[in-house]
């Protein structure tokens, strides 16, 4: 006896429902005459079990509204006919009907079974098993290909990491060599180094010409490499290239050159009696009753005023706002929609408010009790 009346599916995504009548019908309706199934179920199950199975079937198919109520002595027969007709015409449900005990289903002899239909079902199952076996073979072959590709990728990644480590070691060795050469060539006293640099800037005709790098001659005509000062000559140092270390020496030397130029400019300003821009002070006048007068700073203020009583007149609100702002005739009030009708909320725009009067809007003493006032943000 086959367990289900549908082809094998992914059992991990199936819901199993324990009901003997639905299990018996779904497994036998393709191999037995429907009248025989109705007679067997009517003699084996009672009316309550048949009605519960019918309700459960419609729930699992999400068709509760399609159920009909039968009455009379043929109620069980009519319910079984309706269930068989619905199962035969409907597609397979999202759940699988099963049993937990063999006593939940009646025994059926071979006289009631259609051997030809069962043979066709067995043939279909064999064909599906053959297709499934071929699909499994293709999946296994694909998995082997993916494993080999993953192994090659890991090997390539290991080779890249090894080359990267060797490159870092070479850069560290070159960086240490550049640091030792610069430490041996530069004077020990920073003041002496700045003095030598200043003297070289004062005598441009004696400046040494930058030497061309011979590390990569094929790139010499395509880009200009930055030069860094070391002692009295200049050497090529490119922080982006692999033959100049990690660029720390080049950045340090560039910082030293900027520092020397900054000190030179400061000395030139002191020698010429000038004054640096950041040292110039700003003056703000304090004398009153003078001929000159400063412009008054004005602000446009937008306020949100809420919790007003429902009978408050907007003209009264406008007059109070202008009194607080110290202006007249430049205020607009817009009534805002509210969820309740027992209070009002307004958007108030005051134009040309003196800067010193803006703070008056946020003083609690300028407003009546329980009124909410805050800034309006568009």
CATH code of the domain covering residue 308: 3.30.70.260
Same domain, yes or no: 267 and 304: no
Same domain, yes or no: 230 and 308: no
CA neighbor of 251 nearest in space, from 241, 239, 265, 233: 239
Same domain, yes or no: 245 and 307: no
The whole-number pLDDT of residue 277 equals: 57
The whole-number pLDDT of residue 363 equals: 92
In a domain, 123, yes or no: no
Question: What range defines the domain where residue 240 resides?
Answer: 186-215+223-272
Same domain, yes or no: 267 and 302: no
Same domain, yes or no: 307 and 235: no
In a domain, 36, yes or no: yes
Same domain, yes or no: 302 and 267: no
The whole-number pLDDT of residue 6 equals: 47
The whole-number pLDDT of residue 205 equals: 56
The answer to whether residues 350 and 376 touch, using CB atoms and an 8 Å cutoff, is no
Buried b (16+ CB within 10 A) or exposed e, 100-130: eeeebbeebeeeebeeeebeebeeeeeeeee
In a domain, 2, yes or no: no
In a domain, 153, yes or no: no
In a domain, 179, yes or no: no
Same domain, yes or no: 259 and 304: no
Distance CA 314, CA 303 (A): 14
The whole-number pLDDT of residue 280 equals: 61
Torsion of CA 174, 175, 181, 186, to 10 degrees: 160
- Helix ranges (H only) for the chain are 20-28, 34-44, 47-60, 75-89, 115-185, 190-202, 248-272, 314-325
* pLDDT in 10s for each residue of the chain, 378 residues: 444 444 444 444 678 888 888 888 888 888 788 888 888 888 888 888 888 888 888 888 888 777 778 888 888 888 888 888 888 888 877 788 888 888 888 877 666 666 676 777 777 777 777 777 778 888 888 898 899 999 999 999 999 999 999 888 888 888 887 766 666 555 556 667 777 777 777 665 555 555 444 444 444 444 444 443 344 344 444 444 444 445 678 888 888 899 999 888 888 888 877 655 555 677 888 887 767 877 878 889 999 999 999 999 999 999 999 999 888 888 999 999 888 889 999 999 999 899 888 999 999 999 999 999 999 987
Same domain, yes or no: 109 and 24: yes
In a domain, 249, yes or no: yes
The whole-number pLDDT of residue 182 equals: 62
Residue that finishes a domain, picked among 96, 113, 130: 113
Same domain, yes or no: 42 and 95: yes
In a domain, 32, yes or no: yes
Same domain, yes or no: 211 and 246: yes
In a domain, 200, yes or no: yes
CA 268-271-275 angle, to 5 degrees, is 75
Same domain, yes or no: 19 and 106: yes
Same domain, yes or no: 95 and 30: yes
The answer to whether residues 302 and 330 touch, using CB atoms and an 8 Å cutoff, is no
Task: Please state the domain count of the chain.
Answer: 3
């Amino acid at each position: 006896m086959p367990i289900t009346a549908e082809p094998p599916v992914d059992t991990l995504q199936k819901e199993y429902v324990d009901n003997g009548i639905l299990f018996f019908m779904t497994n036998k309706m393709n191999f037995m005459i429907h009248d025989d199934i109705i007679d067997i179920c009517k003699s084996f199950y009672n009316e309550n079990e048949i009605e519960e199975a019918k309700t459960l079937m419609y729930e699992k198919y999400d068709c509760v509204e399609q159920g009909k109520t039968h009455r009379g002595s043929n109620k069980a027969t009519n319910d079984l006919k309706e269930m068989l007709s619905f199962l035969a015409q409907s597609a397979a449900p999202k759940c699988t009907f099963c049993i937990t005990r063999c006593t939940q289903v009646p025994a059926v002899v071979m006289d009631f079974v259609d051997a030809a239909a069962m043979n066709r079902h067995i043939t279909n199952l064999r064909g599906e098993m053959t297709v499934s076996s071929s699909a499994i073979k293709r999946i296994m072959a694909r998995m082997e290909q993916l494993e080999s590709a993953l192994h090659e990728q890991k090997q390539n990644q290991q080779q890249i990491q090894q080359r990267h480590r060797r490159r870092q070691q070479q850069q560290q060795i070159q960086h240490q060599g550049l640091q030792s050469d610069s430490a041996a060539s530069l004077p020990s006293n920073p003041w002496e180094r700045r003095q030598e640099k200043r003297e070289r800037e004062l005598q441009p005709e004696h400046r040494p010409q930058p030497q061309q790098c011979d590390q990569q001659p094929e790139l010499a005509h395509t880009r200009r490499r930055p030069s860094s000062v070391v002692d009295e000559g200049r050497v090529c140092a490119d922080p982006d290239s692999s033959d100049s270390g990690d660029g720390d020496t080049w950045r340090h030397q560039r910082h030293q050159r900027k520092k020397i130029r900054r000190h030179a400019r400061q000395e030139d300003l002191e020698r010429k009696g000038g004054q640096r821009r950041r040292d110039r002070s700003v003056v703000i006048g304090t004398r009153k009753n003078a001929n000159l007068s400063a412009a008054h700073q004005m602000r446009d203020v937008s306020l949100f005023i809420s919790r007003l009583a429902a009978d408050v007149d907007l003209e009264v609100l406008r007059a109070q706002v202008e009194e607080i702002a110290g202006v007249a005739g430049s205020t607009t009030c817009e009534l805002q929609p509210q969820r309740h009708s027992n209070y009002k909320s307004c958007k108030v725009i005051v134009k040309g408010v003196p800067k010193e009067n803006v703070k008056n809007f946020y003083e609690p003493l300028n407003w009546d009790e329980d009124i909410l006032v805050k800034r309006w943000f568009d």
